[in-house]
Chain A
Amino acid sequence: MSWLHPIRSALTRSGILLWGLPLALLIGFFFFPMASILGVMFERPGSIILRDVWQPLGFTVYQALLSTLLTLLFGLPVAYVFARFDFTGKRLMRTLTMLPFILPTVVTAAAFNALLGPRGWVNLFLMNITGAEAPPITFLNTFTAILVAHVFYNIAIIIRVVGSAWSQLDPRLEQSARVLGASPWKAFREVTLPLLQRPILSAALLVFLFDFASFGVILMLGGPAYQTLEVAIYTQALHYLNLPMAGLLSLIQLSCTLVVMLIYGKVNRGQQVQLFPRLSGEGTRKPRTAAERWIVTLTVVFLFLLQVLPLGALVARSVTRLEADRGQRGAVQTGLTLDYYRELFVNQQQSIFYVPPINAVVNSLEYAGITMVISVTTGTLLAYALVKKPAVRRWLDPLIMLPFGASTVTLGLGFVVAFNSSPLARGSFPWLVPLAHSLIAMPFVLRAIQPALASIPASIRQSAAVLGASPFHVWWNVEMKLISRALLSGALFSFTISLGEFGATSFISRPDNPTLPVAIFRYLSQPGAMNYGQAMAMATILILVCALSLTLLENLSHALVKSD
Chain B
Amino acid sequence: MKQLHVFFIGLTALVFLAACTPAASTKAPVETTLTIMTHDSFAVSEDVVQAFEEENNVILVFLKSGDTGAALNRVILTKGSPEADVFYGVDNTFLSRAIQEDIFEAYAPAALSEIPEEFTRGLSGVVTPIDFGDVCINYDKAWFTEQGLAVPETLADLLKPEYGGKEGEGLLVVENPATSSPGLAFLLATIAEYGETGYLDYWQSLKQNGVVVVNDWETAYYTNFSASSGHGLQPMVVSYATSPAAEVIYASEPLTDAPTASITGANTCFRQVEYAGILKGTQNLEMAQRFIDFMLSPRFQEDMPLQMFVYPVNPAAAIPEEFTRYAVTPAEPAIFDPVLIANRRDEWIRDWSGVMLK
Contacts and interface: CB of A to CB of B under 8 A. Distances in A.
Contact of A529 (B67, B73, B251, B257): B251
B204 interface: no
A426 B71 CA distance: 14
B156 interface: no
Interface string A221-240: 00111000001001101111
Contacts of B3: 556, 559-560, 563
Contact of A224 (B230, B243, B250, B357): B357
A511 B346 contact: no
A527 B221 contact: yes
A564 B1 contact: yes
B239 interface: yes
Nearest to B21: A366
A459 B338 CA distance: 75
Contact of A238 (B66, B221, B259): B66
A178 interface: no
B307 interface: yes
A289 interface: no
B255 A413 contact: no
B66 A506 contact: yes
A242 B342 CA distance: 12
Interface residues of B, number: 97
B329 interface: no
A224 B43 contact: no
B111 interface: no
A321 B253 contact: yes
B66 A507 contact: yes
Contacts of B216: 219-220
B67 A238 contact: yes
B110 to A, nearest CB: 26
Contacts of B232: 117-119
Interface stretch (A14-22, A158-166, A278-286, A348-356): A348-356
Contacts of B97: 241
Contacts of A240: 178, 345-346, 349
Contacts of B318: none
A223 B214 contact: yes
Nearest to B71: A238
B78 A533 contact: no
A525 B40 contact: yes
Nearest to B227: A326
B321 interface: no
A327 B227 CA distance: 12
A135 B70 CA distance: 37
A328 interface: yes
A220 B250 contact: no
B259 A337 contact: no
Given A239-B69, A528-B251, A117 B230 contact: yes
A110 B219 CA distance: 9
Contact of A413 (B2, B74, B169, B243): B74
A301 interface: no
Contact of B179 (A106, A224, A530, A560): A224
A220 B219 contact: yes
Contacts of B44: 351-353
A219 B81 contact: no
Contacts of B77: 37, 40, 413, 416-417, 420
B178 A235 contact: yes
Determine which residue in A237, A238, A421 has the highest number of CB atoms from chain B within 10 A of its CB, and name it: A238
Contact of A528 (B15, B76, B247): B247
Contacts of B40: 506, 521-522, 525
Given A328-B259, A369-B11, A507-B65, A430 B22 contact: yes
A412 B35 CA distance: 20
A117 B219 CA distance: 11
Nearest to A317: B229
Given A220-B216, A529-B228, A352 B83 contact: no
Nearest to A414: B77
B215 interface: yes
A482 B232 CA distance: 53
B218 A533 contact: no
Contacts of A322: 229, 231
Given A224-B357, A349-B307, A528-B246, A420 B83 contact: yes
Contacts of A340: 252
A493 interface: no
A506 B70 CA distance: 10
Determine which residue in B46, B73, B247, B256 has the highest number of CB atoms from chain A within 10 A of its CB, and name it: B73
B46 A350 contact: yes
B63 to A, nearest CB: 6
Contact of B252 (A243, A337, A372, A480): A337
B250 A110 contact: no
A331 B254 contact: yes
Nearest to B214: A223
Given A326-B143, A370-B15, 6 more contacts: A220-B219, A238-B67, A326-B259, A413-B73, A420-B83, A560-B7
18 contacts: A109-B219, A113-B223, A113-B230, A117-B230, A118-B224, A219-B216, A220-B218, A235-B179, A323-B251, A351-B44, A352-B49, A353-B42, A373-B11, A373-B15, A430-B23, A526-B246, A528-B251, A560-B7
Interface of A: 37, 40, 44, 106, 109-110, 113, 117-119, 134-135, 140-141, 219-220, 223-225, 231, 234-235, 237-243, 321-323, 325-329, 331-333, 337, 339-340, 347, 349-353, 366-367, 369-370, 372-373, 409, 412-413, 416-417, 420-421, 425-427, 430-431, 434, 480-481, 484, 506-507, 510-513, 521-522, 524-533, 556, 559-560, 563-564
Closest 7 CB pairs of A and B: A528-B250, A238-B69, A532-B229, A430-B22, A530-B250, A119-B231, A326-B142
